[in-house]
Amino acid sequence: MRAPATGQTLDRACMRTRIRELLVSRILDGAYPAGFHLKELALAREFKVSQAPVREALRELETLGLVIAEPYRGTRVRSTDVAEMLDAYELRATIEVRSVELAMPFADSVCEALAADMERIRLGFGSPEKDTAYLPAVLAFHRRLVEASGNRAFLTTWDSFHWDVRARLLLRRIAESGNDYSAAVGFHQAILDRVRAADTAGAMAAIRVAFASFLSAFRQALDPHGP
């Protein structure tokens, strides 16, 4: 059996990614509210593609918890699964804390790369386009912490959660509550300072504080009248 052409494989992967991003944006923007049915054939016609990349994109969204596929009922947008989202971030915090412990002391080259990420975070936070400026810098910073550990299982697990989508969802919810979450820049600077100082306990604590604050802001956004 002849293997498919590499170009065809890449084209299909690119189409799937583009479709996924469009669907995610529509869900986050409210164009596709909870309960909205996503029809595979209709989407394929809209995007002028076969149903295969649409089907693959919908499967990725299901993995992320953004949609639910039910036999004989099709695929629909689901309400945010708060418990699953919090569980995912608890796991991520655990991975990053342990990664920093394993990576200490960080190589000078990694510290320099983290400092460059930090500058992008600072500049991106002031940008009106946080999804394309601030968020990629934040994720690059955190992924670099995990990568520095040398633990491939940690990195594979971290990558599998599609943090670009999850973080966009949480940041949108926080912003909609009126919280600009300006403290985020300071939390990342604190992590960098402790890493540079080779302060293992301090860096681990700084990561825990950053995640605790972020998730607290998310909970507050969901229930502004809560305790």
Q: Where are the domains of the chain?
A: 6-77, 82-222
CB 100, CB 144: distance < 8 Å? no
Tens-digit pLDDT string for the chain (227 aa): 334 444 444 476 788 889 998 999 899 888 999 999 999 999 999 999 999 999 999 999 998 889 999 888 899 999 888 888 999 999 999 999 999 999 999 999 999 999 999 999 999 998 777 778 899 999 999 999 999 999 999 999 999 998 998 998 898 889 888 887 889 999 999 999 999 999 999 999 999 999 999 999 999 888 766 55
Burial (CB count within 10 angstroms: exposed 0-12, middle 13-18, buried 19+), residue 199 = middle
pTM (whole model) above 0.85: no
Sign of the torsion angle spanned by Cα atoms 57, 63, 64, 66: positive
| Short-list 9, 1, 69, CA closest to 38 | 69
Percent of the chain with pLDDT over 90: 65
CA separation for the pair 224, 104 (Å, rounded): 39
Per-residue pLDDT of 21-35, as tens digits, reads: 899 989 988 899 999
Maximal C-alpha separation, the chain: 62
Residues near 160 by beta carbon (within 8 Å), at least 6 away in sequence: none
- The CATH architecture annotation of domain 6-77 reads Orthogonal Bundle (1.10)
Per-residue pLDDT of 165-176, as tens digits, reads: 899 889 888 988
CATH 1.20.120.530 for domain 82-222: yes
Domains 6-77 and 82-222 agree in fold:
no
